[in-house]
């Protein structure tokens, strides 16, 4: 089992900064379902970036890879740009958000078998220290078997937590959380909450962004040639902090390549005929059948 995160704000910000060089409100041409989902569900909400403070979301643009790599090093980000071609430029976008609980929590321990984990004990008491707000609120969801805890904060965010039913990542992680958070109702039956402390740092695979392309104001084609992300998240008795850095490079190309998709993994096939409710054949075809039949005679 591994931990996974999805932080889209710096990805959106990086594309917005690229547009400032290529021309605002570019028409991005997608090459995959992940790119379609990103453009439709996330990039379409780029105006929400204004809700971040200037010091929380920062971006840099340059046609010099070394210049941007120096910024990444200063920010203690592990990845680096490859050297740019003369017709290539890069963007670095870094999100850093500090969250404070309403009051400092107590330390606790979670014991699972022979292992122990440092934890946070949150007491649900509304006091002057918590601005007369409950430390957390409890919800249930009609599509999820575990309670959802929404922790209030001094900084205005609400940090929600619930037990995961299985390991999920990338856009599937977004899909599951969105379903839970849009279908829940208030429940008030827990006075205390114990959650693990978190110290997370990982490179996030955003290679799905590569190939996304557009044209500049002179109608010259550009595509995303490099895409990298690193996310760090810490959570303790004082609060939490998320820091996520994204770097993309956009490169001028001779022409936008046609969209070619190669099925190079085992695949599903079914044959339909108009008027038939049931397909003629259903198939799962693995590499053992990938052969030239030479003729269709059977």
Distance CA 262, CA 279 (A): 24
User: Which residues, given as ranges, of the chain have pLDDT below 70?
Assistant: 1, 254-262, 298
* pLDDT for res 261: 64
Distance CA 52, CA 50 (A): 5
* pLDDT for res 260: 58
* pLDDT for res 124: 87
Q: Find the helix or strand (DSSP H, E) in which 159 lies.
A: strand 158-161
Residues 27 and 149 in one domain: no
Q: Which of 134, 168, 198 is the last residue of a domain?
A: 198
Residues 214 and 176 in one domain: no
* pLDDT for res 281: 78
* Number of domains the chain contains: 2
* pLDDT for res 258: 54
* pLDDT for res 203: 96
Strands 221-235 and 239-252: antiparallel
* pLDDT for res 94: 98
Residues 170 and 218 in one domain: no
Q: Find the helix or strand (DSSP H, E) in which 106 lies.
A: strand 106-112
Residues spanned by the domain of 30:
9-97+202-252
C-alpha angle 127-132-135 in degrees, rounded to nearest 5: 75
* pLDDT for res 255: 58
What lies within 8 Å, CB to CB, of 187 at 6+ separation is 138, 139, 140, 147
Residues 50 and 183 in one domain: no
Residues 89 and 141 in one domain: no
Q: Are 200 and 236 in contact (CB under 8 A)?
A: no
């Amino acid at each position: 089992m591994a931990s996974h995160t999805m932080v889209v704000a710096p990805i959106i910000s990086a594309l917005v900064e690229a547009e400032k060089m290529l021309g605002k409100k570019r028409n991005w041409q997608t090459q995959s379902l992940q790119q379609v989902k990103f453009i439709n569900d996330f990039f379409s909400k780029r105006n929400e970036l204004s809700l971040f403070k200037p010091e929380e979301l920062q971006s840099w643009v340059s046609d010099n890879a070394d210049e941007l790599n120096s910024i990444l090093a200063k920010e203690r980000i592990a990845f680096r740009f490859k050297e740019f071609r003369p017709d290539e430029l890069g963007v670095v976008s870094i999100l850093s958000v500090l969250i404070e609980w309403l009051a400092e929590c107590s330390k606790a321990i979670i014991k699972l078998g022979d292992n122990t984990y440092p934890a946070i004990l949150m007491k649900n008491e509304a006091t002057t220290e918590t601005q007369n707000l409950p430390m957390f609120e409890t919800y249930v969801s009609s599509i999820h078997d575990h309670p959802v805890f929404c922790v209030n904060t001094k900084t205005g965010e609400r940090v929600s937590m619930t037990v995961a039913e299985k390991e999920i990542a990338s856009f599937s992680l977004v899909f599951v959380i969105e379903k839970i958070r849009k279908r829940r109702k208030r429940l008030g039956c827990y006075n205390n909450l114990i959650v693990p402390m978190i110290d997370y740092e990982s490179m996030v695979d955003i290679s799905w962004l590569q190939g996304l392309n557009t044209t500049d104001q002179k109608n010259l084609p550009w595509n995303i040639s490099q895409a990298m992300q690193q996310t760090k998240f810490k959570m303790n008795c004082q609060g939490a902090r998320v820091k996520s850095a994204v770097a993309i490079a956009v490169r001028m190309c001779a022409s936008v390549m046609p969209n070619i998709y190669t099925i190079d993994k085992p695949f599903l096939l079914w044959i339909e005929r108009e008027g038939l409710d049931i397909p003629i054949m259903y198939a799962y075809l693995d590499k053992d059948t990938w052969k030239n039949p030479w003729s269709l005679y059977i």
